[in-house]
Amino acid sequence: MPSPKSVSFTTSPTSRGKMPTAPLPASHAGFRLAWRIAGAMLCRLVLNTARRFVYPFAPVISRGLDVPLTAVTAMVAACQAAPLVGLVSGPFADRWGYRRMMMGGLALVALGMGAAAIWPTYAVLTLAVVLASFGKTIYDPAIQAYVGARVPYERRGLVIGLLEFPWAGSTLIGIPLIGLHMDLGGWRMAPLSLAAAALGCLLLMARLFAPDGPPPAAAGRLLGTAWSALAARPEALGALGFAFFASVANDTLFIVYGAWMESRFGLGLTALGLSTAVIGSAELLGEGLTVLAADRLGIKRAALLGAALTMAAYALLPVVGQSLAGALAGLFAVFATFEFTIVNCLSLSTELVPRHRATMMSGFFVAAGLGRVCGALVGIPIWQAGGIGAVGLVSAGATLLALLSLNKGLARWVR
């Protein structure tokens, strides 16, 4: 967490809400910001768990709902199209206020998961997962833009890295807890627990974050302006291309790893849930390395280096994945390097278009969502056709395209 003296509050075109007309005392401002970031981390733990729990438990959910496994993967693909809502939510967050959008995102999770707990059908669960993705798409750009408007770029990697810890926490803590709940009460316990947690987070947000100010009268007419600003910036387009191809690569593997581990090594439900702790630990390491090294190494350099290492990890996974220990080690390497790369690119993206931070972050997630749709749709067919070897090669190739896109986009960008 940045020291209080390193954090300043300033009014900017992207900073909505009840901002002071003069800077707050450094210690007071830093203390308030630290508590808000901590609260946002807890909210993101719930959002990320709601977004990800279907992946490792897809076989269990398919049996519980009496639908084929492909129906569950189609559910995942449908929810990954949800980031398209960012085409609207990002510009509105820049103009209407970050707190409003964050609370709206949490409300969608509570509503969807509550409905799935009451009406446990395939259609309602699909709706719940889609609404959870909507909620995450609305919440994440708003909190990242909130941080981008308040934390100096020289400390941005540190704070964005801390804010990304809940992504690892969802696999390290959230999904294993969901697995335990499902063992105790069936798959319906997952949406019930997530609905209750989302309601608690709504109350926390209302307590920690000051209400936004009134939106400007011209807010609705400025949506097109925000996206035009992104389209005119090569660095923004390069980051969007990176988000797309990197997400294709990651979801091509992530959608099949549970089925691969179950069929290749005979892992049961509890063991499969605990295997996600390996991925969670890897993501935690990647985020920790970002916190410790990104600002010193340089965020741009760290993102490019991380992409190269991720590509190598994908290519080596089929080689090392012949045993359970090797497979877990390979997955650890993939997700550690991927997380380091993606968090650095998120930190970078908060500065590419300063006047439209939430729009830029929404665009990043829209591109990533489209990539995840592609990865989720092709992952199972690729695995069924060529095994984990084919999956590793496809993911490595997509990561190479991500690296080339980011490098070209940032060729003339200097910060």
Q: Which domains does the chain have, with CATH numbers?
A: 26-214+223-409 (1.20.1250.20)
How many angstroms separate the CA atoms of 317 and 396, rounded? 10
pLDDT at position 261 is: 82
Q: How far is the C-alpha of 376 from the C-alpha of 259, rounded, in Å? A: 13
Residues 138-179 pLDDT 10s: 999 999 988 888 888 888 888 899 998 898 788 778 888 998
Please give the residue that has the higher pLDDT: either 72 or 83.
Answer: 72
Take residue 154 and report the two structure tokens written for it. Answer: 């020289």
How many residues are given for the chain? 415
Cα 174 to Cα 194: distance, rounded to the nearest angstrom: 10
More confident residue, 319 or 276: 319
Q: Which residue has the tokens 């449908």?
A: 78
Would you say 268 and 313 are in contact if contact means Cβ atoms under 8 Å apart? no
Structure confidence at residue 391 (pLDDT):
94
In this prediction the pTM is 0.78
- The residue behind tokens 């909210």 is 43
Q: For the chain, state the CA radius of gyration.
A: 20
Instruction: Please give the residue that has the higher pLDDT: either 268 or 161.
Output: 161
Residue 203 has pLDDT above 50, yes or no: yes
Confidence of residue 55 (pLDDT cuts 50, 70, 90): confident
Tell me what pLDDT residue 29 has: 67
**Residue 372 pLDDT greater than 70, yes or no:** yes
Q: What is the pLDDT of residue 72?
A: 85
Q: Pick 125 or 60 by higher pLDDT.
A: 125
Confidence of residue 200 (pLDDT cuts 50, 70, 90): very high
Q: Are 64 and 187 in contact (CB under 8 A)?
A: yes
Mean pLDDT of the chain, nearest integer:
84
Q: Please give the C-alpha separations between residue 124 and each of 56, 74, 137, 145, in angstroms, as whole numbers.
A: 19, 14, 20, 32
Give the mean model confidence (pLDDT) for residues 384-399: 93
pLDDT at position 309 is: 97
> Rounded CA gap, 64 and 54, in Å?
12
Provide the CB-side half-sphere exposure for 112 (13 A, CA): 24
Four-CA torsion 42, 304, 328, 368, nearest 10 degrees = 60
Average pLDDT over residues 110-136: 92
Question: Are the CB atoms for 406 and 307 separated by under 8 Å?
Answer: yes
Query: How confident is the model at residue 15, as a pLDDT?
Result: 42
- The C-alpha atoms of residue 401 and residue 47 are separated, in whole angstroms, by 29
Q: What is the pLDDT of residue 104?
A: 92
The pair of three-digit structure tokens given for residue 113, joined into one six-digit string:
């998961």
